[in-house]
Amino acid sequence: MPPQMVASKVMSPVRNLEFLVIGAGVAGLRAAVELADHGSVLVATKEAMAESNTWYAQGGIAVASDDEGDTRLHLEDTIAAGDGLVYRAAAQVLVEEGPQRVAELIEWGARFDRDRGRLLRTREGAHSRPRILHANGDATGAEISRSLIEFAHAHPRIQFAEWTTATALLKSGNQITGAQLLARDGTTLTLHARAILIATGGAGQVYSETTNPPVATGDGIAIAAEAGAYLADMEFYQFHPTAFALHGAPRFLMSEALRGEGAYLRNQKGERFMERYHPLLELAPRDVVARAIARESIGDDGEIYPAFLDLRHIRNIDLHQRFPGISSFLAQHSLDIARDLIPVLPAAHYLMGGIKTDLDGRTTMPGLYAAGEAACTGVHGANRLASNSLLEGLVFGARAARAMLCDTPSSDLRALDESFSAPATTSTNGADTSTSLAQLVPQLRHSMWNNAGLLREESTLRTGLTQINSITNAIEELAGHAAPSRLLAEARSLCCVASAILNSALARTESRGAHFRTDFPAHDDAQFAAHSIFSLQNAVHTERW
């Protein structure tokens, strides 16, 4: 769990708000810092500041080294991993602007691991070179989070609203003008802002097996879709190959950097199996490794048995020192990183799709911007290259902020509507709603894992859709009577995200990257070398960009 950082500087009440940033991971904070030099910013986040997917990122941040050739190679690696769907212009922005954004972050106080002053770089899957910076061994996201939180906290024009959930966007015509927020005590607050950025991260909680923390319920994606914004590429959910897999233990991430440092993958028979799947063996693209593990883990009796990470042969580094977080997690489960086989299975990890944006975070609704995992620029295509996500947050967070400044002149400063309202009184009591949600949400998550997981086909996707529709109806029924609550808002978000994933996956009758259809196992470039666009109003269609 991240420490409870920054609780003092909270909104109460907010005045003269110009920009609202929803989400406090790397993309939201980087944007807030850029915006705050020009106007007042409120960063609203659902829990304490550090509780985000960013904080839990382990392996590192991929960034081209000084060598000019490495920028080109980083671009090529990103495009190759994305399996024919990376939007080249977005990847170019990422690799070209990345080094400057990281240098700036170091200036602001981020401390990456070094050897005699020189930044250490490791390798991960599908990278042609070691270019991944890391911090405190395997706690890179936590260090990036810490440094950005401290930097943002020092800025007089940034305020924070912790434990605050965004439940809806407000619009006038097609223009997004504000948001409705729900505080921990149940009060609702309507805010109007010059521009709003959604940086709420991913939605791993839509699956029963995930490396993501409980906050990752796709709220920003759902409220944007509800307001009419387009989503893109929602069928592409990345399953990390190696989440810890011991009965009863959390699905803690076993970083890809373990394989970058030489870890082998073995099946239950003790065989190294990756040679049957890809010439890059354990460092093949993530979708390939995840599917290989899924295949190898089916026992003769049809049951699922974990594969293993094996680091026992590694002698050139001190594994406890290089991976202190993983090592201490394993010790809690009586396993030694250097001596024991580590049981692993894939789990939902990262959403390549999200709110459709241009290269500057503009969504399809004026006034609404998105960046980071909540957004889809097409930078990752069908399969994200390892450790490109923290870089994406930095680069596209900064770009979205610049677009927000430039698109909305300061004379647009909106009056605040400080309409604090008491929670509505209703006929259903909160305990009944929580009990019902405690049954419905796990049903949704299991249905998604069983029907829209690593391998899917028309029949499973249709089953999933039927189940999700019925769960959605039950949740909407509850919402009709219940007081607004974070649990309810999250359940509704998960329904929306699940529906977008299922519909987009049904429409893509081919396999590509993280989306593998057993009934259409090959690429169909003629029809599908294109991005899927989902909206609540229209059927899924494709666009080429």
Shortest distance in whole angstroms from residue 57 CB to ligand SIN: 6
Q: In angstroms, give the least distance from the CB of 255 to ligand SIN.
A: 3
| Contact status, residue 177 vs residue 170, Cβ threshold 8 Å | yes
Q: Which two tokens stand for residue 24?
A: 């406090």
The residues near 107 (Cβ < 8 Å, ≥ 6 apart) are none
- Which of 86/533 has CB closer to ligand SIN? 86
In the block, residue with structure tokens 């911007």: 369
From 48, 98, 90, 52, select the one nearest 71 (Cα to Cα): 98
Least distance (Å) between residue 436 CB and ligand SIN: 34
Rounded Cα distance between 189 and 435, Å, is 26
Shortest separation between residue 384's beta carbon and ligand SIN, angstroms: 7
Question: Considering all CA atoms of the chain, what is the largest pairwise distance in Å, rounded to the nearest integer?
Answer: 68
Based on the shown chain and the rule CB under 6 A, indicate whether residue 212 belongs to the binding site for ligand SIN. no
Name the minimum Å distance from CB 473 to ligand SIN: 35
Return the number of other C-beta atoms located less than 10 Å from residue 192's C-beta. 18
- The region of 7-15, 25-33, 255-263, 498-506 touching ligand SIN under the rule CB under 6 A is 255-263
Q: What is the signed CA dihedral for 449, 452, 454, 459, rounded to 10 degrees?
A: 120
Q: Does 256 bind ligand SIN (CB under 6 A)?
A: yes
Stretch that binds ligand SIN, among 11-19, 249-257, 332-340, 441-449 (CB under 6 A): 249-257
Q: Is 78 in the site for ligand SIN (CB under 6 A)?
A: no
- Quick one: DSSP state of residue 500? H
The residue with tokens 């995200």 is 497
Q: Which is nearer to ligand SIN, 263 or 386 (CB)?
A: 386
- From 213, 272, 242, 251, select the one nearest 333 (Cα to Cα): 251
Q: Which amino acid makes up residue 539?
A: A
Interactions with ligand SIN, residue window 57-76 (CB under 6 A): 58-59
Member of 21, 183, 281, 386 binding ligand SIN (CB under 6 A)? 386
For residues 31 and 6, is the Cβ–Cβ distance under 8 A?
no
**Please, what is the minimum distance in Å from the beta carbon of residue 258 to ligand SIN?**
8
Does residue number 257 form part of the binding site for ligand SIN (CB under 6 A)? Answer: yes
DSSP sequence for 116-161: TTEEPEE--TT-SS--EE-STTT-HHHHHHHHHHHHHHT-TTEEEE
By beta carbon distance, the residue nearest ligand SIN is 59
Size of site (CB under 6 A) for ligand SIN: 11
Q: Is 389 in the site for ligand SIN (CB under 6 A)?
A: yes
Q: Encoding tokens for residue 329?
A: 């997690």
Which CB, 74 or 349, lies closer to ligand SIN? Answer: 349
Task: Give the shortest CB-297-to-ligand SIN separation in angstroms.
Answer: 18
Query: What CA–CA distance (Å, rounded) separates 372 from 451?
Result: 27
Peptide bond preceding 343: is omega within 30 degrees of 0, i.e. cis?
Answer: no
Dihedral, 212, 214, 216, 222 alpha carbons, nearest 10: 150
Stretch that binds ligand SIN, among 2-10, 268-276, 322-330, 381-389 (CB under 6 A): 381-389
Quick one: which of 364, 387, 499, 503 contacts ligand SIN (CB under 6 A)? 387
Identify which of residues 252 and 350 has a Cβ nearer to ligand SIN in the complex.
Answer: 350
* Residue among 112 and 350 whose Cβ is closer to ligand SIN: 350
The letter for the amino acid at 409 is P
What does the DSSP 8-state code read for residue 276?
G
Smallest distance, ligand SIN to C-beta of residue 256, A: 3
Which segment (168-176, 252-260, 411-419, 426-434) binds ligand SIN by CB under 6 A? 252-260
Tokens 């770009």, located at residue: 399
Nearer to ligand SIN by Cβ, of 330 and 404: the residue is 330
Among residues 255, 383, 451, 493, the one that binds ligand SIN under rule CB under 6 A? 255
Pick the closest to residue 59 from 445, 479, 389 (CA basis): 389
List active site positions: 286
Residue 357 sits in the site that holds ligand SIN (CB under 6 A): no
Give 98: exposed, middle or buried? Use CB within 10 Å, 0-12, 13-18, 19+: buried
By CB under 6 A, residue 484 contacts ligand SIN: no
| SS3 (DSSP) at 219 | helix
Closer by beta carbon to ligand SIN, 54 or else 485: 54
Using the minimum distance from each CB to ligand SIN, give the nearer residue, 47 or 256: 256
Listed ranges 113-121, 364-372, 386-394, 469-477: which one lies at the site for ligand SIN (CB under 6 A): 386-394
- Binding residues (CB under 6 A) for ligand SIN: these are 58-59, 253, 255-257, 349-350, 386-387, 389
